[in-house]
Structure 1
């Protein structure tokens, strides 16, 4: 089982300034799943009681040179502390900046090793960062779990395949800041958030208690997948009435999720996505949020990176 690669300058920027700070907000520990073509960060994928988060990168998006081999179809997976990983990357960047010079400057090597820690009798696995300066090299070891067995990797791959399934209808929210500001106010009202999504391009979020009901509606959003034309005679009705009628016709779905989970998924704004899509899985299995990234200077989707979350549903609601 071997893995060695050189992080590119673009890859360092993606991890240090965007994705690792976002993933750190999702939870302390995640799986890092390395394949022949991808590096994938997986949060909570084998547990159903929290927000699942998947960040996937084609190897070219992060690395200049990428070599992997294992007896499990060149797949390696282990758990790692995201905050320790972020600290190691940031430290390596500062060393490169301060001491880097010549052809070896900014060459940040990352590899899997086994070492014997102090006061231990058994070698332990580490993800090691080696930064070469002008006259020296600095090595940082980030502890990881024992690499997953063949059966465990298969379980992780199966969970990943399931998590990649898209809802039949997705609506685009181009302004995440507006949604985030609203949810921050909602957090002080209650714990449960009702989310409804229609084929007309409407997104409703509402929180209710015995004393107060607070909601927001985002209308005429871009729809991907199954869509429908909103009845013209309902335009002047209240948001709640229109939503209820759309659900009864099968043109919308609603679910109830934790406001804490919804707020946590919005922390992915730290990865600087260009927009987000919301959708509800068939039978209200989960609420899915897909963050979209554009190639800089264009409106074309950057297919080398992807990020999405799946929020567990507290009440499947109706469809």
Structure 2
């Protein structure tokens, strides 16, 4: 089982300034799944008690001279502490900046190794970063779990494939800051959030307690997938009535999620996506948030990067 590659300058920027800070907010430990063509960060895919988060990169988006081999179809997966990984990348960048010089400057090598730590009798696996300066090399070892077995990798691969399902209707929320500010206020009210999404392009979020009901509606959003024209007699109705009518017509779905989970998913904006879409999976199985990235200087989707979250549903609601 071998893995070795060089992080490109673009790859370092993606990880250090955008994706690792976002993933660090999602949870302390994640799986890093390496294949012949992709590097994938996976949160909570093997247990369904939290927000599932998947960040996938084609190898060219992060690495140069990418080499991987294993007896499991060249697939390697292990658990890693995201904060330690972020610290190692940041430290390596500072070393490159301060001491880098000549043809080896800014060459950050990353590889899997086994080493014998102090006071241990068994070698332990590490993800090692090697930064070459002018007269020396600095090596940083990030501890990882024992690489997953063939059966565990297959389980992870199956969970990844199941998590790729796209809701039939997605609505684009153009102002994530407005939504984030609203959710921050909601956290002071209660723990459960009702979310409804319609084919008309409406996103309705509401939190209710015995004392207070607080809600917000985003209307006439861009719709991708199944869509419909809103009935003209809905125009003068309240947001609550419009939402109920859309659900009764089969033009909307509603689910209930944790305010804490919803708020955590918003941390993905640290990855600086260009667009954010919300959708509810068939039968209300989860709330899906998809983040879209453009090729710099264009409005074309960067297909080498993908990021999305799946929020567990507390009450499947109605559809």
Q: TM-score, normalised by structure 1?
A: 0.99
Which runs of 5 or more residues in structure 1 are unaligned? none
Question: Contact between 1:92 and 1:129, CA under 8 Å: does it hold in 2?
Answer: yes
Structure 1 partner of 2:134: 134
Question: Contact between 1:58 and 1:305, CA under 8 Å: does it hold in 2?
Answer: yes
Aligned equivalents of 2:217, 2:298: Cα separation in 1:
29
Q: TM-score, normalised by structure 2?
A: 0.99
Give the superposition deviation at 1:297. Answer: 1.1
Q: Deviations over 1:161-207 (max 9, x none)?
A: 00001111110111111111111111111110000000000000000
Q: Deviations over 1:113-151 (max 9, x none)?
A: 000000111100000000000000000000000000000
Structure 1 partner of 2:289: 289
Q: Deviations over 1:26-58 (max 9, x none)?
A: 000000000000000000011111000000000
- Dislocated runs of 4+, deviation >4 Å: none
Aligned equivalents of 2:45, 2:27: Cα separation in 1:
12
Name the SS for the 1:166 alignment partner: coil
Question: Contact between 1:174 and 1:274, CA under 8 Å: does it hold in 2?
Answer: no
Deviates further, 171-180 or 149-158: 171-180
What's the C-alpha RMSD, in Å, of the aligned pairs?
0.5
Aligned equivalents of 1:240, 1:297: Cα separation in 2:
40
Name the SS for the 1:230 alignment partner: coil
Aligned residues: 319
Q: Deviations over 1:82-103 (max 9, x none)?
A: 0000000000000000000011
Question: Contact between 1:125 and 1:145, CA under 8 Å: does it hold in 2?
Answer: yes
Aligned equivalents of 2:110, 2:265: Cα separation in 1:
29
Question: Contact between 1:5 and 1:63, CA under 8 Å: does it hold in 2?
Answer: yes
Give the superposition deviation at 1:298. Answer: 1.1
Aligned equivalents of 1:270, 1:281: Cα separation in 2:
25
Name the SS for the 1:83 alignment partner: helix
Structure 2 partner of 1:152: 152
Give the superposition deviation at 1:274. Answer: 1.0
Which runs of 5 or more residues in structure 2 are unaligned? none
Give the superposition deviation at 1:111. Answer: 0.1
Name the SS for the 2:114 alignment partner: strand
Aligned equivalents of 2:177, 2:5: Cα separation in 1:
36
Q: Deviations over 1:277-310 (max 9, x none)?
A: 0000111000000011111111111111010000
Aligned equivalents of 2:292, 2:175: Cα separation in 1:
12
Aligned equivalents of 1:232, 1:299: Cα separation in 2:
33
Structure 2 partner of 1:312: 312
Give the superposition deviation at 1:313. Answer: 0.3
Question: Contact between 1:10 and 1:62, CA under 8 Å: does it hold in 2?
Answer: yes
Q: Deviations over 1:219-271 (max 9, x none)?
A: 11111111111101111101110100000010000000000000000000100
Give the superposition deviation at 1:104. Answer: 0.3
Aligned equivalents of 1:235, 1:92: Cα separation in 2:
57
Question: Contact between 1:273 and 1:292, CA under 8 Å: does it hold in 2?
Answer: yes
